[in-house]
Copies of this chain bind each other. A is one copy, B any other.
Amino acid sequence: MTELRADARRNLERVLDAAEQVFAASGPDASIDEIARLAGVGHGTVFRRFPTKDDLMYAVIERHVAQLHAIAEEALAADDPGEGFFDFARRAAELMMTTPGIHKCVVHCGEKPGAAELEELGRKLVSRAQRAGALRKDFEPAEVGPLVRAALLAAPPGQWRRYLDVVLDGLRT
């Protein structure tokens, strides 16, 4: 059951690649039809693997989340909690903003994908920085991410760094 036929695996790959491209270009409003077309399969094939458009979106997002995970662990190991947090924010932003459409997808899904662990990591990162006095204390760890992401989304294409700076400065004590 878990073993996929060779052609099926190939198609699955193609679908994920196509989905990544299309979501990156059009954000969460991308249509399954377009993805299927680009992948060169019928859209029925897409729905067989991913019963729901959101399922497909999660799958695409999960690929990206893996990378974030690594960055977060590293930041958590930093000596200075404040530095750790701000570094993570900057590097995570760098990563996400290479594919703004997917960033929109993340916002659209409201975390769900790798929620469990990654969110936990973020929580630690934030509260550690707060305890060290590097960060405003009147924000829940879970609120920081959405605020930063919202600011990033508001920025014109190449300009998000300045927007990030403003929010990070505002979060400093």
Contact = CB atoms under 8 A, between A and B. Distances in A.
Copies per complex? 2
Interface in A112-128: none
A112 B27 CA distance: 24
Interface string A129-173: 000000010110001001101110111100100110111111100
Interface of A: 136, 138-139, 143, 146-147, 149-151, 153-156, 159, 162-163, 165-171
Given A150-B151, A166-B167, A167-B167, 17 more contacts: A138-B162, A139-B166, A143-B156, A146-B154, A147-B154, A150-B150, A150-B153, A151-B151, A151-B154, A165-B170, A166-B170, A166-B171, A167-B170, A168-B170, A169-B169, A169-B170, A170-B170
